Structure 1
Amino acid sequence: MASQLTRMAFAAPKMARSYASASHIKAPLTLFGLDGRYATALYTAAARENQLDAIEKELKQIQTVVNKDKGVQNLLQNPTINRSHKKEGVQQLLKSGKYSKITGNFFETLAENGRLSETTKIIAAYQELMGAHRNELSVVITSAKDLDKATLNKVSDALSKSALAEGKKLIVTNKVKPAILGGLTVEFGDKTIDLSVASKVAKLNKLISGM
């Protein structure tokens, strides 16, 4: 019976919302889009079984496999592979990894619904929900080259004093993007601070073109 309810939760956004309501479990964050709805349904099912952390760990393992294995990438993304073959492939993948029933049901349903191509987005959305569950605030600092620990700490300390970060644990990630030329871009919550040289050059070019 529990398995049937889980499958129904994943079958469609409307069912996912009904399942969340029936379980009296509210996600810590409202996510939109197809990936957000599926991730929320999975979060609800995992929370109901007290398996939030375990499912997150399994999803990370699956994402690692997806990143490394081109065959798995083709299985998920190739639209010429029919749904039944995709389901068989997913079942084999999950069987080899000995994943939980929740994860197994979820990915089988993605295959049945033709949504396996959304796997990476759904996993990212689930991780976003888990971050909110742990009261974390993701901070992505993009720079032209790797930043040293002292610089990262200074930026983190400055952001921790903002109202958006109040009472939250900052999770800082440094991404390298040579195209920004120099300076930084900082993304935290729904805010973006662009202090990059590339941005300044673009603004200068816009001013010049208007002369």
Structure 2
Amino acid sequence: MFAGRAAARSARVAAPRFQLAAPTRSFAEAAAKPASASTRPPIDVFGVDGTYASALYTAAAKNSSIETVSKALESLSATFKKEPKLQQILASPTLTVDDKKQIIAELQKGISVQDKTNTVSGFLNTLAENNRLSVLEGVTEKFAQLMSASRGEVELNITSAAPLDNKVIKQLEAAVSKSQYVGANKKVKVVAKVNPDIRGGLVVEIGDRTIDLSVSSKMHKMNRLLQETL
């Protein structure tokens, strides 16, 4: 979907920044209203993507569209996984206003739910106007963290060098669920990731805790020990 545009985009010179056609105002209007305790994000998420994710969460809560927006962002997250070059395209400084309109239209085609409040389309237009489309992938990740917190879930990130068998994932989930790292009345949400760079073993992250059992980590420690000894 997006890969065919990458070559043409890289050959362009930066275009002057123009105002996008007036987008649906629901996101901006909702975001401008004072936030109440019921519409504030349940946790703090940091970075530029965290700021935008928090603003979107608040706007969606005010519009009573939080579940719809969550499903829409899950669809966008899946699009990033299917389209490896998408992030590179969104980060290009040569995107014109027309480019951004086309990209937003393509992104919306991949959204599996109908957002009657137009919160997501308004948000995408806001990112485009602010030259922040490059943070969209991060926004989908931070928004997922906010949703997990609002549902009383504890996110368990398991990174392996190759895809894990579902049985192994279930065993890890069961073990962590019974541990001190999961509070009472909390549900564990497993996020399995693959990173060949760790070479083997696992990296397990839950909350602000990280258990690094990767081969790459062990090799790094061994190399450091050898350097200190020699």
What range describes the TM-score normalised by the shorter chain of this pair?
A: 0.7 to 0.9
Give the residue type in structure 1 aligned to 2:61: A
Distance in 2, matches of 1:195 and 1:95, equals: 39
2:222 paired with 1:201: no
Equivalent-residue separation in structure 2 for 1:135 and 1:94 (angstroms): 30
Check 1:95–1:139 CA distance in 2 against 1; reply closer, same or farther (3 A cut): closer
Q: Deviations 1:108-164 (Å, cap 9, x if unpaired)?
A: 111111111111111111111111111111112223444444433333233223333
Amino acid at match of 2:192: N
Counterparts in 2 of 1:179 and 1:42: CA distance versus 1, 3 Å = closer
User: How far apart are residue 38 of structure 1 and its match?
Assistant: 0.8
- C-alpha displacement at 1:208, in angstroms? 1.6
Q: 1:75 to 1:141 in 2, by over 3 A?
A: closer
Indicate the residue corresponding to 2:55 in structure 1: 41
Unaligned runs of at least 5 residues, structure 2: 1-23
1:64 corresponds, among 69, 72, 78, to 78
Q: Render the CA deviation track for 1:170-200: whole Å, top value 9, x for unaligned.
A: 1223334444343322111111001223322
**CA separation in 2, counterparts of 1:147 and 1:95?**
31
Change (3 A) 1:99 1:137: same
The answer as to whether partners of 2:35 and 2:58 remain within 8 angstroms in 1 is: no
Aligned match for 1:169, one of 187, 191, 200: 187
TM-score with structure 1 setting the length: 0.79
Post-superposition CA distance 1:44-81 (Å, at most 9, x none): 11112221111111122233344445786565222112
CA contact 1:144–1:182 (8 Å) conserved in 2? yes
Report the counterpart of residue 32 of structure 1 in structure 2.
46
CA contact 1:67–1:73 (8 Å) conserved in 2 = no
Partner of 1:113: 130
SS at match of 1:139: strand
Letter in 1 for 2:60: A
Give secondary structure in 2 for the equivalent of 1:163: coil
Residue of structure 2 equivalent to 1:122:
139
Aligned to 1:189: 207
RMSD: 2.9
Structure 1's 5 and 145: CA in aligned 2 closer, same or farther, altered over 3 A?
closer
Q: Bigger relative contact order, structure 1 or 2, given CA contacts below 8 A and separation 6+?
A: 2
Structure-2 residue corresponding to 1:155: 172
Query: Please, which moves more after superposition, 53-62 or 103-112?
Result: 53-62
Contact 1:90 1:107 (C-alpha < 8 Å) held by counterparts? no
Measure, in 2, the Cα distance between the counterparts of 1:77 and 1:175.
23
Rounded to whole Å, the distance in 1 between the matches of 2:194 and 2:86 is 27
Task: Report the structure, 1 or 2, having the larger helix content.
Answer: 1
- State the TM-score, normalizing by the size of structure 2: 0.73
Long gaps (5+) in structure 1: 10-15
Q: 1:55 aligns with which of 69, 77, 80?
A: 69
The 3 A distance-change label for structure 1 pair 200 and 78 is closer
Letter in 2 for 1:7: A
In 1, the alpha carbon distance for the partners of 2:174 and 2:80 equals 35
